[in-house]
Structure 1
């Protein structure tokens, strides 16, 4: 059994292409598309695997896109547990505009899961989570899955002494935090939505992260700040890591890569400052690759030397 299990209930087959400029009503001539397995937890598992960690990905999949997604994961030799569903796995489509360097992202809704299908996912989680050290629930919920799924998972993890990591948003995030999790990784936008506050200053952002820890909603808070880096807040200390300037091929999957690098390092037993630095390096390394190709280990090691972590 793997030490880390990621849960992605709404995976996607990610398509990525590029064109010179995105214009309405025009036929846009695009490059040949790249295809990658996608979804928050799947991306985390891919990066942890590349870094040498012991991780398995659990996800539902169906139809031709589901078969393609599963085949791509097999090509990367990522250990996975696929729950067969009747619906077709969704696609996500991204167009990179070369003239501006911006990405245009189009996310389709996932297939509705029948009660028996999401229950099969739950049963697999319960079976596979027991021997794991980390459970990572990342991404959105597809139609048909109970809105309190993450809250149920948080309750299950707490009752069995498992380390649950949550990276989601909206009601799913609020439900999980109400039960309490080991680690939460919100983006600044997600934390603003959760708190209802603008969090316009670094002091406000730090105070909001500390409030989650002090309120027992999370033992660790990893607040992603995009190009500005990240904060890591624990009951004992707060750390800040600045971003690393790199040429950006695509921003997709950077947050997932940050989380994967952080978890891989924590599971390896390194000190918290070094773990945060590895997360920042993995996130920055993912920016170098188009679409959701994600990071290369050599780039993570190289960029790790440029990360500076300070104690607040």
Structure 2
């Protein structure tokens, strides 16, 4: 489920300058937003995914076309507002990347209610709720979906930030939540500097019953998995980073794919680390590739 999808546009320029017109060397267009990115990687790995998303206007039609080009099965919930367009610009002289992400269209009550109605008929093994809440969506929307899926015995995976993350967890019973370290700090209101502090905060989410498994991603510092069995720390895979676009989504998708084929949670977590690293290796217009994930998976070792 992607409430706030995007058309992701990526450019390359030699140098960034204010005011001056800058000619791009290349441009790429991709369907984006948390849940759509998760679905793209999941399908690349050999899984089957259906994307539910809210979209509207001419840009919503363009998003439909991009999803068709990527051969993704999709259910569009129509809205009046225009789907947002996000941009990433790579400055090739310095290797710096600049990202521009609008907040998205304002959603009317009848539109988000139509989204809930659509999910009443969703048939799936797992429901992934990924991405930010657009304006107009109530803070507890993800919590409502968690409650809906619980009634239908469908496990929920949650990856959001701010009100979306908080509102989804407050309902309780999430199978897996994947906050970044920044999102976990915002959720808890704590600085969370040391690995022990981060692990304890993640365990607090587990002990509260909000989520069964908590995977905290920390960029170059690796990731921590917390659940009833304890804590597992994984260092970051040793790779050359080219872009941060889609790393978290690729991590979550790889981890969920491993879970869906019966791997235990620790090995699925390792596979997720490999997925995130594989995305970082790719330019800003791409996500993780299966061959890179499989290769990096062999290089990731855990310290419990």
Task: Please confirm whether the aligned pair reaches a TM-score higher than 0.5, indicating the same fold.
Answer: yes
For residue 294 of structure 2, what is the aligned residue in structure 1?
Answer: 301
1:52-106: CA deviation from partner (whole Å, max 9, x where unpaired): 1121110011222222222121122111111222222110011112233221111
> What is the deviation of 1:277?
1.3
Q: Tell me the secondary structure at the aligned position of residue 11 of structure 2.
A: strand
Q: Does 1:166 align with 2:149?
A: no
> Once superposed, which parts of structure 1, at least 4 consecutive aligned residues long, lie more than 4 Å away?
none
Contact kept in structure 2, 1:232 and 1:276, CA below 8 Å: yes
| Aligned residues between the structures | 303
CA distance in 1, matches of 2:66, 2:239: 27
For residue 4 of structure 1, what is the aligned residue in structure 2?
Answer: none
Q: How does the TM-score come out when normalised to structure 2?
A: 0.95
Contact kept in structure 2, 1:38 and 1:292, CA below 8 Å: no
For residue 184 of structure 1, what is the aligned residue in structure 2?
Answer: 177
> What is the deviation of 1:45?
0.5
For residue 28 of structure 1, what is the aligned residue in structure 2?
Answer: 22
CA distance in 2, matches of 1:122, 1:201: 39
Find the partner of 2:136 among 141, 144, 151. 144
CA distance in 2, matches of 1:190, 1:43: 19
1:10-54: CA deviation from partner (whole Å, max 9, x where unpaired): 000000112222232333232222111010000000000100112
Contact kept in structure 2, 1:187 and 1:224, CA below 8 Å: yes
State which drifts further: 19-28 or 8-17: 19-28
Contact kept in structure 2, 1:16 and 1:290, CA below 8 Å: no
The unaligned stretches of length 5 or more in structure 1 are: 1-6
> What is the deviation of 1:116?
2.4
Q: How does the TM-score come out when normalised to structure 1?
A: 0.93
Find the partner of 2:52 among 27, 46, 58. 58
The unaligned stretches of length 5 or more in structure 2 are: none
Q: Does 1:71 align with 2:68?
A: no
CA distance in 1, matches of 2:74, 2:63: 11
Q: Does 1:290 align with 2:259?
A: no
CA distance in 1, matches of 2:141, 2:126: 18
Contact kept in structure 2, 1:253 and 1:292, CA below 8 Å: no
What is the RMSD of the two structures over their aligned residues, measured on CA atoms? 1.4
1:243-292: CA deviation from partner (whole Å, max 9, x where unpaired): 11222221100000000000000111012222111111111111222224
For residue 90 of structure 1, what is the aligned residue in structure 2?
Answer: 84
1:168-218: CA deviation from partner (whole Å, max 9, x where unpaired): 111221121111122110000000111111101111111111111011111
